[in-house]
Every structure is written in structure tokens, then in C-alpha cells.
Copies of this chain bind each other. A is one copy, B any other.
Amino acid sequence: MSTVTSTTRNGVDTEKLFATLDLIKEQPELARFQFRASNRWLGGSHNRSTIQGFYAAGGEDTTRSEPFVIDAGEPAILIGDDTGPNPAEYLLHALAACLTTSIVYVAAARKVPLTSVEPVLTGDMDVRGALGVDDEPRNGFERIGVSFRVTGDAPAEKLREVVERATARSAVYDMVTNGVPVAVEVSTD
């Protein structure tokens, strides 16, 4: 069925993946990563993040020759000019992307060939919270729904196991469901 001579499955180099896992098992200090984003206000609800360097595996990663540049905004009904997805929509994207990648990597490691991974996410919000109109509704989403379509050359039960394991290991799923301590510093100079 599959090509046993190739180490690439689902577009993931599994030989490299397993070598990375072995290396981190032997030298856990290499597992310390730090990711970063620098944001700048451009007027109204328009702002822009640049994302480039990060710390990984004992040193500063310098493989990205150019930064990623991503714009955020708000639609007209939230007093914006739609200069990009809004921040809450980016949070849904972060969660969707992390779940998709986790599924693909877990499936690659477990020798499950995938044909499609397509999550649709919804987030329900009462904007009275974020707009400061009422103290009762929370500011963020009350709930997030993730509806996955996952297909591949494996029984449905196996595909469901992959999704379950991937969800249990997803970095963003962990953060969005359990929360993260955030420390805020302000300089006004």
C-alpha cells in the first residue's frame, strides 16, 4: 500500500521527526523554546505583527531570512475598516492550525496516511463584555466549537484515535482550554 522505502508520510519527514524526538529525550534542555511576536498600531483598529526569530534547541534560530508580517483589524460593525481578521478570529485560526498540524504529525508517526483534514471553528461571544457595556458577560468566547472532517486510508476508529491523541497534545488547545499566566509590563517613555 504505502511506499516502505520513503520516510515521508503525510508530507512529514518521519525519519527526521523520530530523530528529533530521540534527541530531545536524551537532552531535555534542547526542548526549551521561546516564540515571539512584535506588534505595532497603525491607526484605528489596524495593527500589524512581525514574527521572525525564536529561541530553540539551545540557541537563537536564524533560518528565517524575512519576517512574517500579519495584519489585524475589525469589521465595520466593530468600528473598523476590515484591514485583516480580528484578534478573536486569529485565535480561532491559531487553534485550528495547531489541531490540524497535530493530527498530521500524530498520523505520520502512527503510519496513518491522511487524505484530508478540515476543521471548521466557531466562537460565540456576547460583545457587551469586551465593549465594557455590562460586567456580566465574559470578554471572550463563551464556548468554541470545532467540527472536524478527517479522512484517510484507515478505519474510522483509527482516525478518531489520531484526533484524540492530537487534541491531547496540541499546544494551542492546551492554552485555549486551560489558560496561560500572562505578565504585562508597560513603558510610557
By a beta-carbon cutoff of 8 Å, the part of chain A in contact with chain B is: 10-13, 16-17, 20-21, 24-25, 28, 31-41, 43-47, 49, 51, 54, 56-57, 61, 63-64, 68, 70, 72, 74-77, 79, 82, 84-106, 114, 116-134, 137-151, 156, 159-160, 163, 165, 167, 169-189
Instruction: Please state the number of chain copies in the assembly.
Output: 2
Given contacts A137-B31, A143-B182, A150-B186, contact A171 B36 (CB under 8 A): no
Rounded to whole angstroms, the CA-CA distance of A12 and B45 in the bound complex is 7
Q: Would A77 and B104 be within 8 Å (CB), given that A28-B128, A130-B171, A177-B179 are in contact?
A: no
* Given known contacts A90-B94, A93-B72, A104-B45, A148 and B20 CB-to-CB distance under 8 angstroms: no
- Identity of the chain B residue whose Cβ is nearest the Cβ of A42 in the assembled complex: B11
Q: What 10 A-B pairs are tightest by C-beta distance, nearest first?
A: A11-B44, A87-B98, A140-B175, A72-B97, A39-B96, A11-B43, A41-B117, A90-B94, A179-B179, A139-B174
Residues in B with CB closer than 8 Å to A134 are 25, 28
Report the minimum CB–CB distance from A90 to chain B (whole Å). Answer: 4
User: Which B-chain residue is minimally distant from A46 (CB atoms)?
Assistant: B11
Given the interface contacts A38-B118, A139-B173, does A70 sit within 8 Å of B93 by beta carbon? yes
Report if A151-B182 is in contact (Cβ < 8 Å); known contacts: A38-B118, A49-B96, A105-B79: no
Which residues of chain B are near A34, meaning CB under 8 Å?
A: 122-125
* CB-based contact A182/B95 at 8 Å: yes
Alpha-carbon distance A95/B180, docked complex (angstroms):
12
**Alpha-carbon distance between A9 and B109 when the two chains are bound, in angstroms:** 53
